[in-house]
């Protein structure tokens, strides 16, 4: 069978199946898998307004790295939880994850079924529902955009809303270089709303409080707490996020090695210090002074965002690139479809290709995605963007070097914000 025939014949993941309450025999296993790691990282959990808070409640968590799940397990001990997990997390272990309380989600889709699953956990199981609403690891150690529907869902559930804001997880293994640094971890476990407070608050007030609780800056936390990360390779991979040179403004010509970040166009270099800051260490070709444009790494990221926002506002943002397409209809395996053309611009995403003499198209309008999920060096196959429908997820691997999946993620958010402003004005 060809790839497209295999996709057509594949049985889709059963998203409607009721979530299982985490099996009692698996609870000691989750503790066994979690505690050695969090002890090794000297985890400290700070509890605020948690006196008397017991399940059921909605637990909202920041998302930095795989160790997040282990920190969450330690934070809610001895209680059990159901976790919302992306479909790729179920590959090869669907039965186990379901037994452990996993609920499958295709990222950045409007999934009414998920709300039903969450309500089932709260009302029927009486357990904790753990949700990572940023829906991807933090790209640069700062909080990501959250869906506006979060406040509505919290209001609908009518149970306490608890926030787990984790610190150090990103620094230990950032998504652009997953090697462990070994630094200590902190976590703030805070009740944002009691059930009574939730009943009295408006959806806008709930969303505002949730967004405030989600605010974090890992590099500011590192400097404030004097967290030394002296690994000689600590900057390797940083160019995946910082893809545009702030000196010569050239995109896609950044690289990194050891503790240094370099522009291969103007040849300026910066070093990442042991406290996570950047310092210019080599002049550019035009012999300008050793000015450090952005010592604070998230500021560089926001500079890139501002550049993309300007392109969106001027109507000049557009990316067209050939991509290799893998499909994931269920939790069994990826299906290679072939090469297609991805276009991203004011109309949103358009993917078009011909697979084994059959035309294939996928359109994701701007209004349908407030953000998108990207991966760096995903399973060794390269950087990718994934686009989902309710039935399928497509992993797209761009060809060539004149692109950055980080820019595509930023542009998705900025296009959606421009759309929102237009709707509010009308």
Residue 390 CB neighbours (<10 A): 13
- Give per-residue pLDDT as tens, 14-47: 998 999 999 999 999 999 999 999 999 999 999 9
For residue 188, give the nearest of 37, 38, 35, 50 by alpha carbon.
50
Per-residue pLDDT tens digits for 305-323: 999 999 999 999 999 999 9
The reply to whether 242 falls in a domain is: no
- Please tell me whether residues 177 and 308 are part of one structural domain: no
Locate 112 and state its tokens.
């009414």
- Nearest CA to 133 among 182, 75, 63? 63
- Shared-domain flag, residues 18 and 165: yes
Residue 333 near residue 340, CB atoms below 8 Å: no
| Structural tokens at position 69 | 């799940």
Pair 191, 263 in one domain: no
DSSP state at residue 342: E
Q: Which domain holds residue 345?
A: 317-425
**Do residue 112 and residue 191 come from a single domain?**
yes
Q: What is the pLDDT of residues 371-381, one digit of tens each?
A: 999 999 999 99
pLDDT digits (tens, 9 = 90+) for 227-279: 999 999 999 999 999 999 999 999 999 999 999 999 999 999 999 999 999 99
Give the model's pLDDT for residue 314.
Answer: 96
Same domain, residue pair 33 and 96: yes
Judge whether residue 349 has pLDDT over 90: yes
Is the residue at 231 inside a domain? no
Asked if residue 334 and residue 254 are part of one domain, the reply reads no
pTM metric for this prediction: 0.94
Q: What is the pLDDT of residue 401?
A: 87
292, 307: one domain: yes
The mean predicted confidence, pLDDT, of the chain is: 95
CATH code, 393: 2.30.29.30
Is it the case that residue 155 has pLDDT exceeding 80?
yes
Structural domains in the chain (count): 3
pLDDT score, position 111: 82
CB distance 377 to 383 below 8 Å = yes
Whether 288 has a pLDDT exceeding 80, the answer reads no
Per the CB < 8 A criterion, the answer to whether 261 and 281 are in contact is no
Query: In this structure, are 416 and 292 located in the same domain?
Result: no
């Amino acid at each position: 069978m060809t790839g497209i025939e295999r996709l057509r014949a594949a049985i889709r993941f059963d998203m409607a199946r009721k979530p299982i309450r985490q099996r009692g025999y698996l609870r000691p296993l989750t503790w066994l898998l979690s505690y050695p790691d969090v002890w090794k990282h000297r985890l400290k959990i700070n509890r605020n307004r948690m006196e008397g808070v017991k399940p059921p409640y909605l637990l909202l968590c920041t998302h930095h790295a795989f160790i997040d799940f282990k920190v969450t397990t330690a934070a809610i001990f001895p209680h059990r939880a159901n976790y919302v997990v992306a479909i790729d997390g179920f590959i090869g272990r669907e039965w186990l994850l379901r037994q452990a309380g996993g609920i499958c989600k295709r990222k950045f889709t409007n999934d009414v079924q998920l709300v039903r699953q969450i309500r089932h956990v709260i009302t029927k199981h009486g357990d904790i529902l753990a949700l990572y609403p940023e829906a991807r690891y933090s790209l640069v150690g700062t909080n990501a955009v959250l869906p506006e529907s979060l406040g509505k869902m919290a209001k609908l559930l009518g149970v306490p809303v608890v926030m787990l804001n984790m610190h150090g997880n990103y620094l230990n293994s950032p998504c652009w270089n997953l090697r462990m640094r070994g630094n200590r971890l902190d976590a703030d476990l805070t009740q944002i709303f009691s059930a009574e407070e939730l009943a009295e608050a408006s959806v806008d007030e709930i969303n505002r409080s949730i967004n405030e609780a989600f605010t974090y800056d890992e590099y500011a936390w590192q400097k404030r707490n004097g967290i030394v990360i002296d690994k000689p390779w600590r900057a390797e991979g940083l160019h995946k996020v910082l893809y545009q040179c702030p000196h010569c403004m050239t995109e896609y010509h950044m690289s990194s090695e050891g503790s240094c970040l370099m522009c291969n166009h103007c040849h300026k270099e910066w070093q990442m210090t042991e406290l996570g800051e950047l310092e210019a260490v080599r002049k550019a070709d035009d012999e300008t002074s050793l000015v450090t444009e952005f010592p604070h790494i998230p500021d560089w990221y926001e500079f890139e965002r501002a550049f993309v926002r300007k392109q969106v506002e001027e109507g000049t943002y557009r990316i067209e690139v050939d991509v290799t397409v893998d499909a994931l209809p269920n939790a069994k395996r990826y299906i290679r479809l072939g090469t297609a053309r991805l276009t991203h611009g004011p109309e949103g995403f358009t993917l078009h290709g011909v697979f084994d003499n059959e035309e294939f198209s996928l359109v994701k309008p701007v209004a349908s995605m407030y953000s998108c999920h990207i991966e760096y060096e995903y399973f060794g196959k390269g950087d990718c963007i994934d686009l989902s429908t309710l039935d399928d997820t497509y992993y797209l691997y761009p060809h060539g070097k004149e692109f950055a999946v980080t820019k595509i993620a930023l542009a998705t958010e900025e296009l959606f914000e421009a759309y929102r402003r237009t709707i509010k004005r009308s």
